[in-house]
Structure 1
Amino acid sequence: MKRLIPIILSILALASCSGTKNLVPADVDMPEAYMPGLESDTASIADLTWWEFYADSTLTRLMRLALDNNRDLLKAAARVEQMRQLYGIDKANFYPEIGGMAGASYETNNYNGAGTTKDPEYDLKLPVSWEINLWGSLSQAKRAGAARFKASVEDYRAMSMTIIADVAMAYYRLIALDNELSIVRQTMATRKQSLEQAKIRFDGGLTSETVYQQAKVEYSTAASLVPNLERQVAVARNALTLLLGEYPREISERGDLALNVSLPEKLPAGVPSTLLQRRPDLRAAEQRLKAAMADVGVSYADRFPRLRLGFTPGFENESLSDFFKSPFTYTVGSITGSIFDFGRKKRKYQAAIAVYDQSRYDYEKAVIQAFTEVNTALATYHHVQQARTLKVELRDAAVKYVQLAHLQYRGGTLNYIDVLDAQRRYFDAQIGVSNAIRDEYLALINLYKVLGGGWSTDDSAAI
């Protein structure tokens, strides 16, 4: 005993040293502002719930359909349930395992010709085994299971955030194509009138055939755009229904692209450090880092012996008549562990540390990427607003150009080719404004997403 006590104390002292205390923590210090000169504001547009941020009732209805039916989101919910059940196993490992055994045997023996002996046996036993959490292996496994379960919940929320943004972008692309198709058809109607007037003037000998053919070319050019635009509308519509988890169908109820509504020039983005709380993908990466740290603790504890206790109560007798008069008990305690494993468990422990370092780098990269996404989204939103302003000015100038060209043509001071040039410029300017407004909405949606907007705890209630 005098020799065993120091050995046991040494093992306990070694095991009490945490195998995770020397792990390098993640470096997630971010700059104080997303962009130089940007004022810090504790408020953020990401604080708004998605049904508050998106005011279009048709769009929010489509978003709710997507949250209910999107297959990627349903798959993420199933993943949450899987991790919940696995976490339940880690918690249950703290409790004893109770088994059951009922059996009957009939053995005959005839040793050395001394005669046949009969040895019947009947058993009814309830073996109980229990592993003692001596070195914290079970505790660390429970921490790892909890972290992985929480990571799956955050993955579900991140998927919700992505689905909300994707639905919004698909919706605005669709209505932008509707608007572009409407512009083309209006242009066709105008050019058809011009074509009819050119034909009348040509038939009356007032103009040459060149003018008539020019008008015909302009009308045909506009008409040739329709089939491709209708194809793009069908593709965009199908992309939207796929997000909704539905087969292709017509989405009859959809809004218009507001051409005269200006989006806010500046939007509160919040403090960069709050991204760690707002963005569920960052919280998921943090939970995976915690799980990897707990795995290091498990592999460290596995280097020490395991203590298991066993107790088996029951009945055992050679006849059934007095079976319940023959109680049986069996008690055992065992300490098992490797004496020489030639470095296997140490290498497993070192490998777990390497896995932790990989998770740490993944987390740090995710934080840097999130900050970069916000910086890019803010710059994009600013520049698309500038582009929209310039496109609107170009359209307004093109309208006046068309009006003046018609007046001068009727007055005989301008050639018809100049009128057509003015019409083409006005047509292109209209399309440019429509696309610029679309890009402005897409930039706003992306900014809301990268700031962590588009999910809520209400959406997570189903999981």
Structure 2
Amino acid sequence: MVKCASLSASVAVPAFLLASCAVGPNFVAPDAPAASRYTREPQLASTESTRTPSGNSQSFSPGSDVSGVWWTLFRSRKLTGFVDEAVRNHPDIQSAEFALRAARENVLAEQGALFPQVSGTGSAAREQAPLYKLFNTSVSVSYALDLWGGTRRQVEALEAQADYQAFKLEATYLALTANVITAAITDASLRDQISATEDIVKAETDQLARIQHQFEIGAVSKSDVLAQESTLAQARATLPPLQKQLAQQRNQLMAYLGRLPSEDRGEHVTLAELRLPSRLPVTLPSELVRQRPDIRQAEATLHQATATVGVGVANLLPQVTLSGSYGASGTGKLFSPGTIAWDATSSVTQKLIDGGTLYHTKEADVALFEQNMAAYKSTVMSAFQNVADSLRAIQYDAATLKAQAEAEKAASDSLSMSIEQFKTGAVPYANVITAQQSYLNARIARIKAQAARFSDTAALFQALGGGWWNRADLTADASPRVNPGYFAGPNRSTQEAVR
């Protein structure tokens, strides 16, 4: 199948080549899924609200765009500072930037094959007997005519690889910023859990002192003292695991910031200082495929596979090369009429028998295209699932926080009542022990539910692509190259054209 193919505007080639055609299929970006929403409901209801920090309701705004600096919506300068430091220092960002630079240089290197190749030689010799000098100089030109567009398809494949690296850079940037936000939120949650546990340990220590005093005056039995000692020991035992998690979380956060663990300066955010965005954007499904870096990476891989099929088809056809030389040689003055020599030749090569190597290589490229098409569809499906999962998480996070806040209040009231009832002898001390454990568990669960609302809000921004297209620092040199030709012409299936 022969299709006309255009070159990048940055490549200047002879006009007759621009008019020629390239074999193989032209790439057309797959259509976005015909879906108008991510969930079954046409419109997602606002989340529940709770009278507790970060308990405000969140609403969804379909069709709204995603900010390029979405983490600033949490209204924390420390959090923003963490993201800025990570982007500046993390080696994964630097590695992705150099990979993109290498890919773009490979494109420029391959574009050189579209131009004539010129080489020059020169020599001089001196003989003693008889005494004479011999000079020889020539210029040779060779030009492999890209009649079938094989070289242009190879350039196209490398351009697609550069696109892949550009979107890999954006995917790395998005993953790093989301990981920094999540790590900082987890750090804050662990600190609050440790603080809550320490408060409870202090309260139970005071309670143990009171029980011991009552035992000394004969008001309670020794079993009550032992029970309180056991409860206090259990509360203290929950601290080391939380402290271990916090220490390891700090090491992870330092790694995201591009620091060594020993360079931890102790700066951190708290849940109390964070603000939960009350209005959340929800990108239209038709736009998600243009905004998710992983989908754009899969698309670039598919484009590269499409162009490679064209290379394989071109290799099956005759290859034409023009060559010529112009020079002079002799013992006298160079380039005089008697010393000039020149020649011009053309050659056509075509493999007649190769055991089917070229044909089966092309068929392997077709199969690889089909594989990449399936991988692209899988990536799109996963992306839509990510968004739907995040939306559900945000809805149920709010309900969970409300339930946990109510459970914490009920557990606190139950503990106070049990203590008062025990003082009057209405209940055994075992009731107090049970109420203390329930309150500790409820308070820790409420803190976790509070942190989950922030983490899952960040996950939604990540699932929507992170707003890289709105970042002010994305210059023309650093941005992914988007070829408007992807969308030119009839919107038909590339998969059909490959065959």
TM bin, normalised by shorter chain, reads 0.7 to 0.9
* Local SS of the residue matching 1:267: strand
Are the equivalent residues in 1 in contact too, given 2:23–2:150 (CA < 8 A)?
no
Are the equivalent residues in 1 in contact too, given 2:327–2:335 (CA < 8 A)?
no
Mapped pair 1:257 → 2:268: no
Shift of 1:414: 2.7
Counterpart residue number, 1:112:
none
Are the equivalent residues in 1 in contact too, given 2:214–2:220 (CA < 8 A)?
yes
Name which of structure 1's ranges 409-418 and 287-296 shifts more when overlaid on structure 2: 409-418
Q: Supply the distance in 2 between the matched residues of 1:45 and 1:236 (Cα, whole angstroms).
A: 32
Counterpart residue number, 2:93:
73
The structure 1 residue matched to 2:243, chosen from 230, 253, 256, is: 230
Shift of 1:246: 1.6
Q: 1:419 to 1:19 in 2, by over 3 A?
A: same
Amino acid at match of 2:248: V
5+ unaligned residues in a row in structure 2: which ranges?
Answer: 1-19, 45-60, 479-499
Amino acid at match of 1:254: H
Shift of 1:45: 6.0
Name which of structure 1's ranges 255-264 and 416-425 shifts more when overlaid on structure 2: 255-264
Shift of 1:275: 0.6
Mapped pair 1:31 → 2:25: no
Shift of 1:61: 1.0
Are the equivalent residues in 1 in contact too, given 2:298–2:376 (CA < 8 A)?
yes
Q: Supply the distance in 1 between the matched residues of 2:276 and 2:170 (Cα, whole angstroms).
A: 31
Mapped pair 1:322 → 2:333: yes
Mapped pair 1:20 → 2:25: yes
Q: 1:185 to 1:192 in 2, by over 3 A?
A: same
Q: Supply the distance in 2 between the matched residues of 1:247 and 1:25 (Cα, whole angstroms).
A: 43
Are the equivalent residues in 2 in contact too, given 1:148–1:291 (CA < 8 A)?
yes
Mapped pair 1:363 → 2:376: yes
* Local SS of the residue matching 2:320: strand
* Local SS of the residue matching 2:259: coil
- TM-score, normalisation: structure 1: 0.86
Counterpart residue number, 2:460:
447
* Local SS of the residue matching 1:310: strand
Q: 1:418 to 1:263 in 2, by over 3 A?
A: farther
Are the equivalent residues in 1 in contact too, given 2:394–2:456 (CA < 8 A)?
yes
CA deviation string 1:416-445 (max 9, x = no partner): 221222221111110010111122222211
Mapped pair 1:182 → 2:195: yes
Q: Supply the distance in 1 between the matched residues of 2:427 and 2:22 (Cα, whole angstroms).
A: 92
Q: Supply the distance in 1 between the matched residues of 2:77 and 2:69 (Cα, whole angstroms).
A: 14
Are the equivalent residues in 2 in contact too, given 1:259–1:437 (CA < 8 A)?
no
Q: Supply the distance in 2 between the matched residues of 1:202 and 1:42 (Cα, whole angstroms).
A: 65
Amino acid at match of 2:327: G
Name which of structure 1's ranges 82-91 and 205-214 shifts more when overlaid on structure 2: 205-214
The structure 2 residue matched to 1:373, chosen from 383, 386, 392, is: 386
* Local SS of the residue matching 1:159: helix
* Local SS of the residue matching 1:453: coil
Q: Supply the distance in 1 between the matched residues of 2:131 and 2:356 (Cα, whole angstroms).
A: 51
CA deviation string 1:321-371 (max 9, x = no partner): 534644443332222222343433222222221121111111111111111
Mapped pair 1:436 → 2:449: yes
CA deviation string 1:52-98 (max 9, x = no partner): 33422111111111112222222211210110111111222212222
CA deviation string 1:195-227 (max 9, x = no partner): 222222222333222222222222222222222
Q: 1:141 to 1:261 in 2, by over 3 A?
A: closer
Shift of 1:34: 0.6
Shift of 1:157: 0.4
* Local SS of the residue matching 2:385: helix
Shift of 1:459: 4.8
Are the equivalent residues in 2 in contact too, given 1:176–1:257 (CA < 8 A)?
yes
Mapped pair 1:100 → 2:150: no
Are the equivalent residues in 1 in contact too, given 2:136–2:328 (CA < 8 A)?
yes
* Local SS of the residue matching 1:212: helix
Shift of 1:47: 4.1
Which of the two has higher C-alpha Rg? 1
Shift of 1:149: 0.8
The structure 2 residue matched to 1:156, chosen from 141, 149, 169, is: 169
Shift of 1:267: 3.5
Amino acid at match of 2:218: G
* Local SS of the residue matching 2:147: coil
Higher helix share: 1
Amino acid at match of 1:68: R
Are the equivalent residues in 2 in contact too, given 1:46–1:449 (CA < 8 A)?
no
Matches within 5 A, 1:52-63: 52-63=72-83
Shift of 1:379: 1.7
CA deviation string 1:297-319 (max 9, x = no partner): 121122222222223233322x3
Amino acid at match of 2:388: N
Counterpart residue number, 1:87:
107
Amino acid at match of 2:364: A
Q: Supply the distance in 2 between the matched residues of 1:90 and 1:364 (Cα, whole angstroms).
A: 30
Q: 1:373 to 1:214 in 2, by over 3 A?
A: same
Amino acid at match of 1:97: Q
CA deviation string 1:160-217 (max 9, x = no partner): 1111111111111111111111111111111111122222222233322222222222
Q: 1:437 to 1:176 in 2, by over 3 A?
A: same
Counterpart residue number, 1:206:
219
* Local SS of the residue matching 1:334: strand
Matches within 5 A, 1:103-114: 103-104=123-124
Q: Supply the distance in 2 between the matched residues of 1:148 and 1:161 (Cα, whole angstroms).
A: 20
The structure 1 residue matched to 2:409, chosen from 369, 393, 396, is: 396
- TM-score, normalisation: structure 2: 0.80
Shift of 1:401: 1.1
Q: 1:182 to 1:17 in 2, by over 3 A?
A: closer
Q: Supply the distance in 2 between the matched residues of 1:203 and 1:123 (Cα, whole angstroms).
A: 117
Name which of structure 1's ranges 195-204 and 142-151 shifts more when overlaid on structure 2: 195-204
The structure 2 residue matched to 1:331, chosen from 344, 348, 362, is: 344
Are the equivalent residues in 2 in contact too, given 1:25–1:360 (CA < 8 A)?
no
* Percent identical: 24
Are the equivalent residues in 1 in contact too, given 2:86–2:257 (CA < 8 A)?
yes
Aligned positions, number: 438
* Local SS of the residue matching 2:178: helix
Q: 1:419 to 1:261 in 2, by over 3 A?
A: farther
Q: Supply the distance in 2 between the matched residues of 1:261 and 1:290 (Cα, whole angstroms).
A: 42
5+ unaligned residues in a row in structure 1: which ranges?
Answer: 1-14, 109-115
Amino acid at match of 2:385: T
Shift of 1:261: 6.6
Are the equivalent residues in 2 in contact too, given 1:28–1:364 (CA < 8 A)?
no
The structure 2 residue matched to 1:382, chosen from 395, 416, 424, is: 395
Q: 1:255 to 1:24 in 2, by over 3 A?
A: closer
* Local SS of the residue matching 1:46: coil
